[in-house]
Amino acid sequence: MGRNTRKRRTPLATKAIAASAALALGGGGLIWANFYASAHESNNDAWGNRTKAANAQVATVSCPDIGQKLTNVPRQARTEVDGELANLDRQITDAYQRLMTTRQAQAQDASFVQNSILQPLKDRRKAIIDRIKLEITRVGGTSPSDLDALAACTGTPANQTNTGGQQQNGGQNNGGQQQGNNNGGQQQNGGQQGNNNGGQQGNNGQQQGNGGQAGNGPVAADFVDITKVQPNVAAKPQQSGNASTGSFTTRCGVNANKNHNTDNVIVAPGVTNGAHHLHDYVGNQKVNAFSSNQTFLQGGTSCQNRNDLSAYYWPVVRVQDGTQDFDQNADGGGKEGNVGKILTPVQAQIKYVGSPTSKVVAMPQFLRIITGDAKTTTNGLANANAHWSCTGFENKVQLTTQYPICPQGSNVVRTFAFQSCWDGQNIDSANHRTHVAFADANGNCQNGFKAIPQLTMRLVYKINPPTVQNGVVKNAYAVDGFPEQLHKPATDHDDFISVTTGGLANKIANCINNGQRCQ
């Protein structure tokens, strides 16, 4: 992979995120609020005398996710296009600082946000879209004809941002098998729907309300008492006589050594802070924005099997109990709405399993897979693949659009089931999705795709149960994410790069095909 060394130009205000002023934005949109003082202002000085403050509502502006539309980018243009897509995320992060420093103007002029922030944002997005089209056509490709229509961003009222809250499943990923059936997302199970940004004082004097400690979520409706959710786990496809019934478990630890960064080498190679949120890394120990296939082979591993150099990484989970962590003033951390104490899983199981209808072929070296969608609040649930549950309930309940409140003695469980069908040719694709797919409802790969070992991950967290009272959630927990995605549980996702030595890829496939249990 080539390198794109673009970096953030403008630092964000260190003081911004401690407020419940809910001015958050990122890769797909932005949020603003004309209310509540920031942590360094007095209530009387900030908004107490402003007539619009009392009635102001948080809103999110959803910007189309251009990267998902680019399914046919020629390989020669992908490095530059990925860099421009990262610039789109950075543009809105830069606009965050402008929102934070223009609150008085916003309160005095109802058209300020549209005229001074949204319209210029559209113009800057259009300039990047033009560069993306130029990069594609320069190497002989054809850019989608409707890209220009993706420049504009639209505002959404706060009460419409709980994407998928009434859905019965997590949707389909690449037209494949449904992964989050009957997720219990109904409002009646989601706790009380209260005011965003309740503004109540939390621990250490931080403002902690229904809008989350950072002001951009989670909210009370994002949580559900798991004991009140109806059983919803779908039956597995029936096995055929050709099924591959074995499994291979690799033990790579729980990231106890705190290997973190806010890069994402798959979607934003060469771009520092390309993820805008923090990842846990296990397996390969040298994964960052500037890693390459060659450095993966030299990266070392946290796995007990030293031939497993694969990179397994996912957004961290934080508890918003008023405490902070090392990155409270850092890009991707507190500056971008990801606040609270980082939780290390107490268990992390990584297992490869087979197909119910066929044998599997070995994963190709350096295969990249992303499962789930970090931007479901913008994109909807089509690619959502989040699974949340509690120990003792996993065989009964899996949630996609809500976090579980587990009973005492039960731990939070976060699971992933990756795409298990491969196109047989590509280790990646322009939108990082179309080279892999889920099997259909019967367990079959479609469109000539081949079954590969299905990577599954199960992370267990010991979390004191959050409480919801009068529409306010206390001691909330949430995954890190792009600020405008509001820390919704459906935005959970997981990333994987297959890197093996010593014939391990073939060993995994053979073990699964032979019905063995290996590690």
Residue 312 is predicted with a pLDDT of: 98
Residue 63 is predicted with a pLDDT of: 79
Residue 449 is predicted with a pLDDT of: 98
State the residue for tokens 């030595």.
501
Q: What is the pLDDT of residues 444-485, one digit of tens each?
A: 999 999 999 999 999 999 999 999 888 889 999 999 998 878
Selected residue with higher pLDDT from 76 and 98: 76
State mean pLDDT over 324-333: 94
Q: Is pLDDT above 70 for 53?
A: no
State mean pLDDT over 49-55: 30
State mean pLDDT over 405-417: 97
Q: What SS3 class is residue 182?
A: coil
Q: What is the pLDDT of residues 182-213, one digit of tens each?
A: 333 333 333 333 333 333 333 333 333 456 77
State mean pLDDT over 275-300: 96
Give the domain extent around 447. Answer: 25-254+269-279+313-518
- Token pair for residue 270? 């060469």
Give a yes or no: residue 327 inside a domain: yes
Contact at 8 Å (CB) between 312 and 457?
yes
Q: What SS3 class is residue 104?
A: helix
Residue 464 is predicted with a pLDDT of: 95
Selected residue with higher pLDDT from 273 and 93: 273
Give residue 336's pLDDT band: very low, low, confident or very high (50, 70, 90).
Answer: confident
Q: Is pLDDT above 70 for 493?
A: yes
Amino acid at position 486, single letter: L
Selected residue with higher pLDDT from 237 and 23: 237
Average pLDDT, the chain: 80
Give a yes or no: residue 345 inside a domain: yes
Give a yes or no: residue 357 inside a domain: yes
SS (H, E, C) 54-98: CCCCCEEEECCCHHHHCCCCCHHHHHHHHHHHHHHHHHHHHHHHH
| Spatial CA neighbour of 24 closest among 480, 510, 476 | 480
How many structural domains does the chain have? 1
Helix extents (H) in 368-448: 376-379
Give a yes or no: residue 462 inside a domain: yes
State mean pLDDT over 393-418: 97
Residue 368 is predicted with a pLDDT of: 98
State mean pLDDT over 307-312: 98
Contact at 8 Å (CB) between 489 and 399?
yes
- Token pair for residue 178? 């449904």
Contact at 8 Å (CB) between 351 and 247?
yes
Residue 174 is predicted with a pLDDT of: 38
Give residue 90's pLDDT band: very low, low, confident or very high (50, 70, 90).
Answer: confident
The phi, psi pair for 508, rounded to 5°, reads -60, -45
Residue 104 is predicted with a pLDDT of: 79
Cα 392-372-70 angle, rounded to 5 deg? 175
The phi, psi pair for 317, rounded to 5°, reads -105, 135
Selected residue with higher pLDDT from 35 and 338: 338
Q: pTM to 2 decimals?
A: 0.78
The phi, psi pair for 511, rounded to 5°, reads -60, -45
Give residue 28's pLDDT band: very low, low, confident or very high (50, 70, 90).
Answer: very low
Q: Is pLDDT above 80 for 180?
A: no
Residue 486 is predicted with a pLDDT of: 86
Q: Is pLDDT above 80 for 13?
A: no
Selected residue with higher pLDDT from 336 and 5: 336
Residue 373 is predicted with a pLDDT of: 96
Top-ranked range on mean pLDDT: pick from 111-115, 130-134, 502-506: 502-506
Q: Is pLDDT above 80 for 335?
A: yes
Between β-strands 311-315 and 317-320, what pairing exists: parallel, antiparallel or unpaired? unpaired
Q: What SS3 class is residue 262?
A: coil
Total residue count of the chain as it appears in this document: 519
The percent of residues above 70 in pLDDT, for the chain, comes to 75
Give a yes or no: residue 263 inside a domain: no
Q: How many CA atoms lie within 13 A of 400 on its CB side?
A: 31
The percent of residues above 90 in pLDDT, for the chain, comes to 59
Give a yes or no: residue 299 inside a domain: no
Can you tell me the distance from the alpha carbon of 334 to that of 329, in angstroms, rounded to the nearest whole number?
5
Residue 181 is predicted with a pLDDT of: 36
Can you tell me the distance from the alpha carbon of 36 to that of 195, in angstroms, rounded to the nearest whole number?
13
| Spatial CA neighbour of 472 closest among 282, 170, 210, 284 | 210
Selected residue with higher pLDDT from 294 and 69: 294
Selected residue with higher pLDDT from 484 and 411: 411
Poorest-pLDDT segment among 142-156, 223-237, 376-390: 142-156
State mean pLDDT over 103-109: 79
Query: Which residues neighbour 496 within 8 Å (Cβ) at sequence distance 6 or greater?
Result: 310, 311, 312, 313, 368, 369, 370, 371, 418, 455
Residue 4 is predicted with a pLDDT of: 39
Selected residue with higher pLDDT from 414 and 189: 414
Amino acid at position 310, single letter: S
Query: Which residues neighbour 134 within 8 Å (Cβ) at sequence distance 6 or greater?
Result: none
| Spatial CA neighbour of 59 closest among 160, 172, 130 | 160
Q: Is pLDDT above 70 for 179?
A: no
Residue 116 is predicted with a pLDDT of: 83
Give a yes or no: residue 417 inside a domain: yes
State mean pLDDT over 21-48: 32
Give residue 41's pLDDT band: very low, low, confident or very high (50, 70, 90).
Answer: very low
Give a yes or no: residue 155 inside a domain: yes
Selected residue with higher pLDDT from 505 and 36: 505
Give residue 112's pLDDT band: very low, low, confident or very high (50, 70, 90).
Answer: confident
Helix extents (H) in 336-482: 376-379
| Spatial CA neighbour of 396 closest among 234, 156, 272, 271 | 234
